[in-house]
Amino acid sequence: MRISFLRSFSLLAAAWMGAFSGSAWSQEFPTGQTISIIVGFVAGGASDASARLIAKELANNLGQSVVVENKPGAGSMLAAQQVANAKADGTVLMLGSIGPMAVIPHLMKLSFDPLVDLAPITMGVIFPNVLVVPASLNVTTFAEFVALAKKNPGKLTYAATGIGSASHLAGELLGQRAGVDIVNIQYKGGSAAMIDLIGGRIDAYYSTPSSAAPHIQSKKLVALATTGLTRPELLPDLPTVAESGYPEFNAVNWYSYVAPGKTPAPILERWNTEFVKVLNTPSVRDTLLALGLTPQPMSRQESAAYMAKESAIWKAVIKERNIKIE
């Protein structure tokens, strides 16, 4: 089965890249034009902060305007559809994420295929979420949280920033591995979820490390575990879920950069060069790491393979958990 999965990833990645590398028409890089990076999340979160940091550095390097446009809604699918339908000349790009690129296509029928109609440029950052609860819940460890959930099936709640988001999938994966029933409450953005969490109106949230850190330090929230296989640099003393009794538990978030699917290969390669240069800039890397985001610049081929692998993994979880959009 492992060999079959790996072969599927390779074939899908090769097919994905082949669709764009043999473009029959060419077009010059959009020098001197305003570049838009569409972000499918509200302003103020980690996605927005990382995109604006990258956009600023790109603008400095290219000597042209690079702007971030927030278009939240439908788990970032509104943003994905806008970019899929945009003119394929390199002027409109998107901050891709796990939801629209690897999860939502398995949950509902779409008018477009993100793995075909959006062309990979590079991966941007990878980071785990942090399971946090309000101090009023009176639990201090991950084991206590699981025990409380088992004693109260269907009574505890956790926030997620959209169906198919990393925060949603982490909760589904915990339900699968620990056999707990915790009710998911959907929010449009992390800021609103955090307000309700601190206020005790929800019981848990798989937050980004940067958003959770100040509230952990102020004792308003209690951090129980992180969802990746390794501890984030921002919270090195916090154990992972895998360390806490559920080996191989891994539900990380990631941001990539993509363009309309028919964008000519030379333009995509130029954008890859520019994004990789920015992601490898020491000051940018240091800022991203301080936000709890680990830079992961890749080639277009590597990016395609990574997203195809994530798509296959979460497709299996969605099927097993019978996850549906009501």
For residue 177, the domain's CATH number is 3.40.190.10
Domain match, 113 and 148 both? no
Q: Name the residue range of residue 72's domain.
A: 2-127+253-321
Angle value at C-alpha 141, between 138 and 146, nearest 5 degrees: 85
Domain match, 85 and 122 both? yes
Identity at 65, one-letter amino acid code: S
Angle value at C-alpha 315, between 154 and 209, nearest 5 degrees: 65
Average pLDDT in the 178-206 region?
93
Average pLDDT in the 150-164 region?
91
Domain match, 219 and 122 both? no
Domain match, 123 and 139 both? no
Reported as a single tens digit per residue, the pLDDT across 313-324 is 899 889 888 887
Q: Return the pLDDT at 19.
A: 45
Domain match, 144 and 258 both? no
Residue 232 lies in a domain: no
CA distance 119 to 88: 10
The model carries a pTM of: 0.79
The token pair that represents 70 in the structure block: 């927030």
pLDDT bucket at 27, cuts 50 / 70 / 90: low
Beta strand ranges found along the chain (DSSP E): 35-39, 66-70, 92-97, 118-128, 130-134, 157-160, 183-186, 204-207, 221-226, 252-260, 294-295
Residue 245 lies in a domain: no
281 sits in the region (left: phi over 0; alpha: psi -120 to 50; else beta) called beta
φ, ψ for residue 75, nearest 5 deg = 65, 35
Residue 179 lies in a domain: yes
- Helix, strand, coil percentages in the chain from 3-state DSSP, rounded to 5: 45, 20, 35
- Cross-sheet strand order for the sheet of 157-160: 183-186, 157-160, 204-207, 130-134, 221-226
Average pLDDT in the 202-231 region?
93
Average pLDDT in the 279-304 region?
95
CB 66 within 8 A of CB 58: yes
> Does residue 25 have a pLDDT over 70?
no
Residue 231 lies in a domain: no
Domain match, 10 and 123 both? yes
Question: How many helices and strands in the chain, by DSSP H and E?
Answer: 12, 11
Average pLDDT, the chain: 89
Average pLDDT in the 121-130 region?
95
Residue 10 lies in a domain: yes
Residue 181 lies in a domain: yes
Domain match, 67 and 100 both? yes
Domain match, 174 and 186 both? yes
Cα distances from 85 to residues 16, 55, 74, 110, in angstroms, run 18, 22, 17, 13
Q: Parallel, antiparallel, or unpaired for β 35-39 and 66-70?
A: parallel
Domain match, 123 and 11 both? yes
Q: Return the pLDDT at 37.
A: 98
Average pLDDT in the 186-197 region?
89
Q: Return the pLDDT at 306.
A: 94
Q: Return the pLDDT at 167.
A: 87
Residue 233 lies in a domain: no
Domain match, 121 and 168 both? no
Structure-token match 């890089």, residue found: 29
Identity at 280, one-letter amino acid code: N
Q: Which residues contact 307 (CB under 8 A, 6 or more apart)?
A: 96, 101, 102, 115, 120, 256
> Does residue 1 have a pLDDT over 50?
no
CA distance 324 to 326: 6
CA distance 316 to 318: 5
> Does residue 304 have a pLDDT over 50?
yes
Q: Which residues contact 53 (CB under 8 A, 6 or more apart)?
A: 284, 287, 288
Domain match, 137 and 158 both? yes
Average pLDDT in the 288-306 region?
93
Residue 243 lies in a domain: no
Domain match, 117 and 264 both? yes
Domain count, the chain: 2
> Does residue 108 have a pLDDT over 90?
no
Average pLDDT in the 105-115 region?
89
